[in-house]
């Protein structure tokens, strides 16, 4: 009985007061398309969600502090970070499950900071699905519409459209316990979409699925977003998921936003060592800046390794110390000394991990430092542990960051 009441509360939250899709003059399947990993044109920067100097405290401890965030209409926006960084709290503030301790939460330009969740034009898809086990698929999807006392014919049409959208028409009369994890997730998506929200909130939506199904659902989420054209805001700790699905990403750490940018900006041009290390793999070399002019920055590590970085890739003020980030795929590995690479060091293979298309190698330099190298798996290579090798990269293949 308690579980039923809890689930009823969740589903009531999923109903929006205003029909935002109708406000925009659209039907369930809208015409606007947004390709993932492409920034929206500057002329289309209408904001669906905005956080202004938002803070949230629990028992005197700050979960997030003085956050500013702008999410544009129609984009797929991901909030990414490790456990405890404040990403879920941020999503709950947008949904209305929490109220800010300070600052403003705006949805489509309206201050919703003190507006309850069920009166916001947002719907949430939970990792746990939150389906009624005693209801069929179509009854789960139509539950919110029935509570809103929508007419039967209109309600049935809405449900039919939602089922078609998630390709679950043939499962309409099944019960949740008769569905796979991926099918349950589709039902949860349909139940949220049937209310036609302005903003769809996704709380770790694929976290409960196995790897193969997760990849499949990533494609389906992208297709849904392109069909609907509404704003998706997703919370995840999965870097690959965020990079593959999103127009833009906010990377969070310790209740603050470290960087906001497109996937390519976040990956290729991280602004802090944390972002460089958290997004994908990288090698971080910290040391003193020995020399810097308009073209080259030279850094010396405590172990005695000298690293050259293009000044155009550094974008640093005059600093005494810096951190150089070099991605494993940018490092070349050879058994003969290369020519004119800029950064070249000798060492030996410490460890090799076979990944099918690639080899994941750990190389220990003569100075004692270790670098991770990602190499294509070519049959002519004969690398084994203890094999003497050279690692090299150009000054333009690495990035200097403030320590």
- Quick one: average pLDDT of 239-264? 95
Q: For the chain, state the CA radius of gyration.
A: 25
Element (H, E) at 165: helix 152-165
Q: Which of 21-30, 134-143, 210-219 has the lowest mean pLDDT?
A: 21-30
Instruction: Give residue 165's pLDDT.
Output: 85
Question: In whole angstroms, what is the distance from residue 199 CA to residue 201 CA?
Answer: 6
pLDDT single digits (tens) 361-396: 999 999 999 999 998 887 556 788 999 999 999 999
The pLDDT tens digits for 189-204 are 888 888 888 999 999 8
The confidence score (pLDDT) of residue 295 equals 85
pLDDT for res 208: 67
Q: What average pLDDT does the segment 82-103 reach?
A: 96
CA–CA distance, 206 with 243 (Å, rounded to integer): 14
The separation between CA 278 and the C-alpha centre of its own chain, rounded to angstroms, equals: 12
- The dihedral region occupied by 349, where left means phi > 0, alpha psi between -120 and 50, and beta the remainder, is beta
**Which helix (DSSP H) or strand (DSSP E) does residue 52 occupy?**
strand 47-58
Give CA–CA dist 355/376, Å, rounded. Answer: 10
Residue found under tokens 């929006």 = 16
Q: Is the distance from CB of 224 to CB of 189 less than 8 angstroms?
A: yes
pLDDT digits (tens, 9 = 90+) for 42-85: 444 689 999 999 999 999 899 999 999 999 999 999 999 999 99
Burial bucket for residue 60 (CB in 10 Å: 0-12, 13-18, 19+): exposed
**What does the block give as tokens for 262?**
């497109």
Report the run of H or E that residue 224 belongs to, with start and end.
Answer: helix 211-228
> Taking the domains of the chain in order of start, what are their residue ranges?
2-268, 281-402
Task: Assign domain 281-402 to its CATH architecture.
Answer: Beta Barrel (2.40)
Return the bridge partners of 235, or none. 79, 203
CATH homologous superfamily, domain 2-268:
P-loop containing nucleotide triphosphate hydrolases (3.40.50.300)
Q: 191, 194, 168, 184: which is closest to 128 by C-alpha?
A: 184
Question: What pLDDT is recorded for position 231?
Answer: 96
Strands 306-310 and 343-354, by their bridges, are unpaired
Buried b (16+ CB within 10 A) or exposed e, 99-131: ebeebebbbbeeebbeeebbebbbbbbbbebbb
CB contact at 8 A, 290 and 301: no
Across 266-282, average pLDDT: 94
Which long-range CB contacts under 8 A does 108-117 form with residues at least 24 apart?
Answer: 108/20, 108/47, 108/48, 108/198, 109/47, 109/50, 117/13
The answer to whether residues 303 and 368 touch, using CB atoms and an 8 Å cutoff, is yes
**127 confidence band (pLDDT: 50, 70, 90):** confident
Give the CA distances from residue 132 to residues 12, 166, 179, 333, in Å, rounded to whole numbers and listed in that order.
Answer: 13, 18, 13, 55
H/E element holding 233? Answer: strand 231-236
């Amino acid at each position: 009985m308690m579980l039923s009441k809890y689930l009823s509360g969740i589903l009531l939250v999923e109903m929006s007061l205003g029909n935002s899709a109708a406000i925009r003059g659209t039907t369930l399947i809208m015409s606007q398309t947004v390709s993932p990993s492409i920034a929206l044109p500057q002329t289309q920067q209408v904001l669906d969600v905005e956080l202004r100097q938002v803070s949230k405290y629990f028992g005197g401890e700050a979960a997030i502090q003085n956050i500013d965030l702008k999410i544009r209409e129609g984009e797929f926006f991901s909030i990414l970070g490790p456990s405890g960084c404040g990403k879920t709290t941020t999503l709950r503030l947008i949904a209305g499950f929490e109220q800010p301790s300070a600052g403003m939460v705006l949805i489509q330009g309206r201050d919703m900071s003190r507006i309850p969740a069920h009166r916001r034009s947002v719907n949430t898809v939970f990792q746990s699905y939150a389906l009624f086990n005693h209801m069929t698929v179509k009854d789960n999807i139509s539950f919110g519409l029935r509570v809103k006392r929508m007419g039967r014919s209109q309600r049935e049409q809405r449900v039919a459209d939602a089922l078609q959208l998630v390709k679950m028409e043939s499962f309409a009369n099944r019960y949740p316990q008769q569905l796979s994890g991926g099918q349950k997730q589709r039902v949860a998506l349909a139940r949220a979409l049937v209310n036609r929200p302005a903003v769809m909130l996704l709380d770790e939506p694929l976290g409960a699925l196995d790897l193969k199904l997760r990849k499949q659902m990533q494609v389906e989420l992208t297709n849904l977003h392109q069909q609907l054209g509404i704003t998706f805001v997703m919370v995840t700790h999965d870097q690959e998921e965020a990079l593959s699905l999103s127009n833009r990403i906010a990377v969070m750490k310790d209740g603050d936003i470290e960087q906001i940018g497109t996937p390519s900006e976040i990956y290729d041009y991280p602004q802090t060592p944390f972002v460089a290390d958290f997004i994908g793999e990288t090698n971080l070399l910290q040391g003193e800046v020995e020399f810097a002019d308009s073209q080259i920055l030279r850094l010396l590590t405590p172990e005695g390794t000298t690293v050259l970085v293009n000044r155009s890739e550094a974008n640093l003020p005059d600093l005494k110390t810096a951190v150089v980030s070099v991605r494993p795929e940018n490092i070349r590995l050879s058994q003969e000394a290369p020519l004119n690479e800029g950064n070249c060091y000798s060492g030996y293979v410490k460890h090799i991990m076979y990944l099918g298309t690639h080899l994941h190698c750990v190389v220990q330099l003569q100075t004692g430092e270790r670098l991770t190298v990602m190499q294509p798996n070519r049959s002519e290579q004969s690398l084994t542990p203890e094999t003497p090798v050279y690692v090299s990269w150009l000054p333009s293949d690495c990035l200097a960051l403030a320590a």
